[in-house]
Structure 1
């Protein structure tokens, strides 16, 4: 009966302190409530000791009725809370991913590109209320998927990204410019590009500075990530006869100055990811920095449960009255 019950006026339970006071009063005044007659002998009088011993039952019923009334006044009720969320400020995000041959380097496990795809997939899943698009670039760039709220499309496109789909090279300016082009018509409150590369700009016909100026013009914030360990990394250096890569140690070269300038100019931030854990931490930090405002509405439904207590009190009082008027009538 009390499962999942809350009380609107729990302070009224202090009134239960009246019950022990009433019991004390009853004990002290019990003898004065019973008429007495002094005679030399009770022989010849019929007495019912059993019923007389049950007479306090009437007082017990009255106390239980009082306790039930106090419980009803405390307003027992059940509460059911439902919520509804509404996105008030969404964010449009384009992830620009370097797919040059150097992204197959094995300083991250199993390689840079696969490590990035795993972390990026987790990032996308954590942005259910935003629209996300993908841009791939190497020696040139293209839109893998335009900004969309359908995460299944974005995730499928992300898994499909691989080396060999574009001419080799690192066209940072092209990748950034294509991303800006995808976002320039966006009506979102906030527009963000996450640009990742593991090298220096050595291809394309758009300079990174020009692309960064376009991002500023369209009020697009750019977070840049330099991917690669400090020092040397096992990197593709040539093709074998069977068409597969031959790997060798090569110095990791990332134009950190350029990436820092792009981030500063557009109001973003530059990060350096030297291993899998650091890459994951960077995307987690970006996820925290770019928060979508969500309005939550709570609806609370109360169901009053005082009626059974009132009914119980009425039954107890009625029972006391019936007993007092019938069985115990001769003793009152």
Structure 2
């Protein structure tokens, strides 16, 4: 009659009535002989007894009644199907600028295969995990520039990140202040609910025309939160020390120097957090933590469309009872 898959019951407590059906069967078994009128006579001699089929079919009336009661109980439990439609309302997401140090020291091999490549791999996964946010990319060494403005197109930002490499055309050094200031400039006009900078460096501020303190003040003025990451092992690392005549880097073991105090100050004053990544696993854990700290709120609305299925059952139960009563007072009347 209809598909029972995906059926729910509004009033399942009525199913307890099914416990009465076995009791009715027992009652009928013991009382069935008293259902028909009896006549006492001294002898059956002279009567021709012919057993008809109707008396044998008489118990079917009770079976029909039980089936009707079963349908009625199921109808009282109110079977219904539910169609659920979902509408997702995305709130205004987060605008994130990733400010990445691309100085020569980022080619150090204390992270596999080097710091820059390890960062690109981890940052790519971070971007993919945040489909509702917009991203921008700022690169800095001795100076800074915008590689990619804020965009919601993940393919653009991922391709730009994949293309990031050391560029010896840029002025040497590490301009943390300029990297931060350029990132602030990318975000200052954003209408996003939250604005975030993730600044990563492996050095100290030793270049640039903008003091980090000024860049911090700008970030605070525009309510931009900054997460800072110091990248590099503790102690020494195999890093580029010179360029050979063939244009390749010559590596040597040099002391890792990170201005952690400055990075902590930037994070603290802007409401962010400072992290130190001494290997790739820690770098992955840092991005996972930032991912948890900066949540984009999504509202999900569910609409329920209920379709009642009890009516066919109730009608069928009524028809069966009508048939049972009709048969009882017509065809089976002389036997009841």
Aligned match of 1:124: 127
- Structure 2 unaligned blocks of 5 or more: none
Aligned match of 2:150: 147
Aligned match of 2:190: 186
Structure 2 counterparts to residues 244-255 of structure 1, below 5 A: 244-255=248-259
Match status 1:17 vs 2:19: yes
- What TM-score comes out, normalization by structure 2 length? 0.93
Aligned match of 2:29: 27
Match status 1:59 vs 2:76: no
Aligned match of 1:45: 48
Moved more, 40-49 or 163-172: 40-49
- Structure 1 unaligned blocks of 5 or more: none
Structure 2 counterparts to residues 99-248 of structure 1, below 5 A: 99-164=102-167, 166-248=170-252
Taking the aligned partners of 1:244 and 1:309, their CA distance within structure 2 comes to 84
Structure 2 counterparts to residues 243-322 of structure 1, below 5 A: 243-321=247-325
Taking the aligned partners of 1:45 and 1:307, their CA distance within structure 2 comes to 50
Taking the aligned partners of 2:51 and 2:121, their CA distance within structure 1 comes to 89
Counterpart secondary structure, 2:135: strand
Taking the aligned partners of 2:236 and 2:149, their CA distance within structure 1 comes to 36
Match status 1:98 vs 2:117: no
How many aligned residue pairs are there?
A: 332
Moved more, 10-19 or 173-182: 10-19
- What TM-score comes out, normalization by structure 1 length? 0.94
Return the offset for 1:293.
1.7
- Report Cα offsets for 1:128-170 as digits up to 9, x if no partner: 2222111011111111111121212111111111111633321
Return the offset for 1:315.
4.0
Counterpart secondary structure, 1:30: helix
Return the offset for 1:214.
1.1
Taking the aligned partners of 1:104 and 1:50, their CA distance within structure 2 comes to 100
Taking the aligned partners of 1:277 and 1:81, their CA distance within structure 2 comes to 42
